Amino acid sequence: MKVATVSYEQSNIAEYERIKDGILDAVLRNRRIGESLFETARRMLVHQCLERTGGQQSAAGTLIGISSRVMNYHCADLQLRPKDKQP
């Protein structure tokens, strides 16, 4: 009886490939007409961070390692408005 052995590195590579393919699939599904894949990924990342932090831009920026000023720029560029400023 043979037992398949998988090294730690091989399992990490397989996990990385699975996650990478999942991210690409999600970006392709959410792509808007005329939008690049990079812009779609950026929009999705900013939106998910804002959801996790309850709309707090500074906390969302900290979550992904950017300053609140840079997060504010991305929100303005993507036309995302804080909950208290929505019409």
CATH code of 69's domain: 1.10.10
Q: Answer whether residue 64 is part of any domain.
A: yes
Q: Answer whether residue 67 is part of any domain.
A: yes
Q: Answer whether residue 22 is part of any domain.
A: yes
pLDDT in tens, 55-78: 899 999 999 999 999 999 999 999
Per the structure, the count of domains in the chain is 1
Q: Answer whether residue 61 is part of any domain.
A: yes
- Given a contact cutoff of 8 angstroms between Cβ atoms, the answer to whether 61 and 67 are in contact is yes
Q: Answer whether residue 39 is part of any domain.
A: yes
Quote the distance between the C-alpha of residue 26 and its chain's center. 10
Task: State which residues form the domain around 44.
Answer: 8-85
**pLDDT of 43 strictly over 80:** yes
Name the burial class of residue 74, with classes exposed (0-12), middle (13-18) and buried (19+) by CB atoms within 10 angstroms of its CB.
buried
Angle formed by the axes of helices 8-30 and 37-52, to 10°? Answer: 100
pLDDT band of 2, cuts 50, 70, 90: low
Q: Answer whether residue 1 is part of any domain.
A: no
